[in-house]
């Protein structure tokens, strides 16, 4: 009898072991493994990002964090910043699901650069937040694009663009099939061929400038922000497609607005803007 029980037990154990190895835990799909998320009350939410890893400390303790509210009262109009000098070029790109957003990235320096104060920052990637992370006089918009640029020695410059619901955005329209394709698979990445970053229209030469941070961990500071003042349009369906592709069961991926802490915001207005 004892013998039978032992045999039965080892048989059950064997089955359990086989089950464990043959059925990968379904609760651990790639998209749920993000180390941080946007649940306000959760221990992985924006208020706690700085406690998750020592390298993420700036998220809690930084003094020049992004996003911010760009309020008229804090903005100084200047004409000396100069135009945003872009030399973007078509290059092969990859669409990647980062678990909290969709990112379109270009290799190395192939997609060209932006020049700010004589420094060249190569365009590395573009990603989207919805609703917008930055607000203007307290108003939030439907979508925000971040074009992330970096120098060889690691200095970061981000160009921010705002969108409200309206006509389709042509650049996102050119990505729709790829977004839909990545939504239908569990693969996190897709080669999308040649994408021309010039297709991401700015629509105005006016922009806000302030010094802030990355809006996702590690919340690295001293990021040079250029925020185009013109609000462009996007369809509800395009915003939805970007969110659904992430598979994180969230409707939003916007970090709350951070304290300005005496930082100044400049608004660059070219002297000849009226002639445009």
Ligand X SMILES: *[C@@H]1O[C@H](CO)[C@@H](O)[C@H](O)[C@H]1NC(C)=O
Residues at the site binding ligand X, with contacts judged by CB under 6 A: 37, 39, 42-44, 50-51, 57, 60-61, 90-92, 194, 249
Instruction: Using the minimum distance from each CB to ligand X, give the nearer residue, 8 or 194.
Output: 194
Residues designated catalytic: 100
Q: Measuring CA to CA, which residue among 274, 186, 223, 266 is closest to residue 58? A: 223
Question: What is the separation of C-alpha 33 from the centre of its chain, rounded to a whole number of angstroms?
Answer: 17
Burial class, 132, CB count within 10 angstroms (exposed 0-12 / middle 13-18 / buried 19+): buried
Looking at beta carbons only, is 111 or 159 nearer to ligand X? 111
Distance in angstroms (rounded) separating the CA atoms of residues 242 and 130 = 9
Count the neighbouring beta carbons within 10 Å of the beta carbon of residue 76: 9
CA dist., res. 168 & res. 159, Å (int): 20
Nearer to ligand X by C-beta: 50 or 67? Answer: 50
Q: Residue 151, Cβ neighbours under 10 Å: how many?
A: 14
């Amino acid at each position: 009898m004892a013998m039978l029980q032992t045999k039965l037990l080892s048989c059950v154990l064997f089955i359990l072991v086989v089950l464990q190895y043959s059925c990968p835990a379904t609760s651990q799909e790639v998209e749920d493994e993000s180390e941080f998320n946007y649940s306000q009350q959760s221990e992985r939410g924006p208020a706690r990002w700085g406690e998750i890893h020592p390298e993420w400390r700036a998220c809690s303790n930084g003094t020049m964090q992004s996003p911010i509210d760009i309020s008229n009262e804090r903005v100084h109009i200047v004409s000396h910043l100069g135009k945003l000098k872009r030399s973007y070029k078509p290059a092969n790109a990859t669409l990647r699901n980062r678990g909290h957003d969709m990112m379109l990235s270009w290799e190395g320096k192939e997609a060209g650069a932006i020049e700010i104060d004589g420094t060249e920052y190569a365009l590395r990637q573009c990603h989207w937040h919805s609703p917008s992370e930055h607000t203007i006089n307290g108003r939030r918009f439907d979508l925000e694009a971040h074009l992330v640029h970096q120098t060889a020695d690691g200095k970061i410059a981000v160009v921010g663009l705002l969108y409200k619901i309206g006509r389709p955005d042509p650049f996102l329209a050119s990505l729709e099939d790829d977004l839909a394709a990545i939504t239908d698979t569990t693969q996190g990445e897709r080669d999308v061929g040649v994408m021309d970053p010039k297709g991401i229209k700015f629509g105005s030469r006016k922009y806000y400038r302030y010094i802030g941070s990355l809006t996702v961990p590690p919340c690295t500071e001293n990021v040079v922000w250029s925020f185009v003042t013109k609000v462009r349009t996007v369809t509800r369906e395009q915003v939805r497609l970007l969110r659904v592709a992430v598979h994180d069961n969230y409707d939003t991926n916007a970090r709350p607005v951070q304290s300005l802490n005496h930082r100044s915001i400049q608004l660059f207005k070219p002297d000849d803007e009226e002639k445009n």
